[in-house]
Amino acid sequence: MSLATFNDPTREELQLLASTVTEVPTTSLYGTIHNSLVLSHVIPYLSISSILSLAATNRAFRELLFSTPGVFRHLDLTHIKALKFEIDKIDHGGEVWRNVQLDENVTEDDFYSGPLRGILSTLKRQHILENVQTLVLDGLSVTSELCHDIINDAAFNVRVLSIRDVKNLNQAKLRQALQYACRPTRRAGSPKLKALYVFGSRDVLAAAKPSGPSASSISTEWNKKSQTALASSLKQEGDAWWHKKGRIIPRPVSQEWANCLLACRGIIAFDAVLCQGPRHRNSPVYKGGSDADSAPAVATYALSGCENCHKAPEGFTYPSGISPDASLPLLAPLPLLSSSLRAATTPKDADTSFVPRCMDCIRERYCTSCNKWWCESCYDFSGQSSSGHYATQIAIVDDDTVNDFGDLDLEVPTMKVKVRNGLCHPCTLTRAQEEENDKSGP
Ligand SMILES: [Zn+2]
Ligand SMILES: [Zn+2]
Ligand SMILES: [Zn+2]
């Protein structure tokens, strides 16, 4: 705990600066943040409204903030009051909704992304937008047309875009915009977008941010943010995929998204990756098979090595440097101090790996209780071949008269059933014992 408190220079600086604001004249604050290292570590923790308020203090601050590269690199608009206010009014059928309905020239995009477009065009006029490399719009009203512009319009230089839990987004049109951006005939160096957060839920840290200087002073904001960052780091459970194993993406992801990830492969990274199981045609160990079964699928599970061979037929996914950055899943929370793909994909623990798999590839192979699984090379159960394809004639495995895993007679005599009803043999016994205890309990 003490390590997390004292060894992080960012937080030490934040605390120092937070007390500086209230105790010494403004010139000292200027002197402190005039150090570009300090400034670059503090700025990402401030909302755009706070930065602009600071810039409005006097000419020196304005010049410092507008002339230092990277000050507007990370733009989080999720806490702009005006954006939430407008959306709430729309949602509740208030005054704005009725007024806008009267104007027949207003398009659906104008209507739903109007407030956000208004702010973005103000930032563009002030030459702030062109410097934004990370744009966080989680939970706001964001249309696919706006996403198309952010991805394809020259006015934007966004490398990392986060649109988790957004409202009014047409996902099919978003996929079209992404596939257009990654088309084989695209311009060299395009698209600028390298990372798209869209599948996960918005960061808890971001959701706890206060709304800006109108609601509280900058010093209070810094204090709150340093506390939130500390609380978040203390309860950090490790990175999804790399550290946490088992089900990572709770909702099923459509085939259309899997096709889109394949079309964007190596160009735009997502907060999800494709399953590389041998039955998929995008797998490095694909050996051919029926077309319907070989379609790409988004991995919803992260696994360790197979329980028997400690490997996987397709190999492991390793951190940056071994596996290509663009093939790695984006990690949450979003990186604050950098807008690089590497920062967004590098896990805290460098000595780690995982196997991304879709549910269909681990059905009857994976125990949902202890996360163990048996790979296609080690376990060729009736109904699924070693290439992972399901045979057209599926032998009856689910025979109710057979209770013992080991007694089930499969075509390969030495093979014993590893997983039944989602549980391995030891976990089935444990579950049965627990149920027995519950029945005989007081
Ligand atoms: Zn194995
Ligand atoms: Zn799969
Ligand atoms: Zn188990």
The number of the ligand nearest the C-alpha atom of 296 reads 2
More confidently predicted of 173 and 86? 173
Is the pLDDT at 413 greater than 80, yes or no? Answer: no
What is the tens place of the pLDDT at every residue in 100-140? 455 667 777 778 888 899 999 999 999 999 999 999 999 99
Range with the poorest average pLDDT among 62-76, 137-151, 211-225, 228-242: 211-225
Determine the average pLDDT of the residues in 172-179: 96
Question: Cα of 316 to ligand 2 centre, how many Å?
Answer: 14
pLDDT computed for residue 442 by the predictor: 59
* Dihedral Cα 394, 400, 406, 407, nearest 10 deg: -100
In a domain, 126, yes or no: yes
CA of 370 to the centre of ligand 3 (A): 4
Q: What is the pLDDT of residues 32-72, one digit of tens each?
A: 888 888 888 999 899 999 999 999 999 999 999 999 999 99
69, 207: one domain: yes
Share of the chain above pLDDT 70, in %: 73
Question: What is the ipTM, given to two decimal places?
Answer: 0.98
Beta strands in 258-349, from DSSP E residues, in sequence order: 269-270, 301-303
- Report whether pLDDT(399) > 90: no
Distance 366 CA to ligand 3 centre (A): 8
Kindly indicate the confidence band of residue 10, based on its pLDDT and cuts at 50, 70 and 90: very low
Report phi then psi at 119, rounded to 5. Answer: -65, -40
How far is ligand 3, taken at its centre, from the CA of residue 269, in Å? 32
User: What spacing in Å lies between the alpha carbon of 125 and ligand 3's midpoint?
Assistant: 59
Q: Indicate if the pLDDT at residue 198 is higher than 80.
A: yes
Among 174, 197, 220, residue at a domain's last position:
197
Over residues 309-364, the pLDDT tens digits come to 999 999 999 997 787 777 799 999 999 999 999 999 999 988 899 999 999 999 99
Q: Is residue 45 part of a domain?
A: yes
The ligand with the least distance to the CA atom of 380 is 1
pLDDT band at 384 (very low <50, low <70, confident <90, very high): low
Distance 312 CA to ligand 2 centre (A): 12
How far, in Å, from the CA of 428 to the mean position of ligand 2?
A: 25
Which ligand places an atom closest to the C-alpha of 368?
3
**367 to 359, 376, 429: CA distances (angstroms):** 12, 15, 13
Ligand of minimum distance to the alpha carbon of 253: 2
Question: What's the CA-to-centroid distance between 286 and ligand 1, angstroms?
Answer: 16
Q: What is the mean pLDDT of residues 5-31?
A: 48
Both 177 and 210 in one domain: the answer is no
Instruction: Please state the rounded mean pLDDT for residues 377-398.
Output: 56
Q: What is the mean pLDDT of residues 76-94?
A: 66
Mark whether 86 and 150 lie in a shared domain.
Answer: yes
Residues 27 and 67 in one domain: yes
- Distance between CA atoms of residues 18 and 13, nearest Å: 8
Pair 67, 147 in one domain = no
Say yes or no: 90 and 21 in one domain: no
429 C-alpha to center of ligand 3: Å? Answer: 10
Question: 363: CA distance to ligand 3 center in Å?
Answer: 13
If asked whether residues 67 and 210 sit together in one domain, one would say yes
Going from the Cα of 119 to the center of ligand 2, the distance in angstroms, rounded, reads 42
Same domain, 14 and 100: no
Q: Are residues 138 and 173 in the same domain?
A: yes
- What amino acid is encoded at 132 in this protein? V
Measured from the alpha carbon of residue 428, the closest ligand is 3
Ligand 2 centroid to residue 309 C-alpha, Å: 19
Is residue 412 scored above 70 in pLDDT? no
Range of the domain at 159: 79-197
Output b/e per residue, 154-185; b: 16+ Cβ within 10 A.
Answer: eebbbbbbbbbbbebbbeeebbebbeebbeee
Structure letter (DSSP) for residue 185: T
CA 439 to centroid of ligand 2, rounded, Å: 39
Neighbouring residues of 410: CB distance < 8 A, sequence distance ≥ 6 = 381, 382, 395, 397, 416, 417
Number of domains in the chain: 2
pLDDT exceeds 70 at position 303: yes
